[in-house]
Chains A and B, each alone.
Chain A
Amino acid sequence: MEDAGFIIGSYVLTFLTLALMSWRVLRSGRRLADQIPDEDKYWL
């Protein structure tokens, strides 16, 4: 039972970190993109 806590905990920790990284990058991308003209965005 103790093993299950560690195993599930390691998955939860990993995926929470990935979600947090994604959210942080997407949020700052949206915030900055609102202030920059589209012609300056090389990816568009």
Chain B
Amino acid sequence: MIPMHEVPGSALPGPAAINTSALSKRYGKVTALSTCTISIPEGRISALIGPNGAGKTTLLRLLAGLARPTAGQVTVNGTTPRQDPAFLADIGYLAQEIPLYRRLSAEDHIHAGAHLNPRWDAESVRERLTGLKIPLGRAVGKLSGGQRAQVALALILAKRPRLLLLDEPVAALDPLARRNFLRVLADGVAVGGLTVVLSSHLVADLERVCDHLIMLASSRVQLCGDIEELLAEHQILTGPRKDTTAIERSHRVVQVTRTPRQTTLLVRLNGPVIDPAFEASDVSLEELVLGYMGQDAAPAMAHLTTIGEEK
């Protein structure tokens, strides 16, 4: 009998859909991704978050097998990404640019997909696009950006992949379409057999559907794990004291914001906070994300606060 407190609230991690170890990618002298070690269990919707240029696209392309690692290992669906129809059939990757043949219609793309994939659910694409009133016969180059994104997303789902890698898929969609699409993803995952990695800047959207988070900044992984667990591990401490060395000694301070009267800290907890001068509060996903993004900008912010104090 295992004591209850030893089992975390979330289910035990199942087999991993994605495992990387010390994965790095350099383009010439530019390091796009550095020593990235992550693991995403099957059946999760993982949010890939990070500032522009953090390496999100590079990571997705490495997972899809479109780019080759400079160093490190990747395992996707149990194998190294490779040029093999069976591997490719299980991956759905949608690039940020929404690549479609501009002169071909949605119907042409449906035909092409049927010729190029072992599993292909043409009816689901027609149904979805007809429901969205997107003309199947018109060249996709003549559709609006949002409609093109809908066509591409419907096509990627028709492949019935085990792993969906989506690079800012909802950026072009209106809020309602965004919500509908994310619900489709959530339903797909709930039915089983689907894992999703989704990059986006829209934290509110991600919060609604994602249960896993990968945070990249400056080509490195800052955070990777179950969102609930990550939120539980972090707290915001607010207090009058300017001296934070005691807290820094026992916890990892992610971000410090100082005003003349109080200091706010985002900390990754390492046990309970015992300093009574600080008031602890729960952290939201947005605060967590902005806190880690703000790490890079910290020196500039400190400079600004100094100017404020001198006034």
Whether chain B is bound by chain A comes out as no
Binding site for B on A (CB under 8 A): none
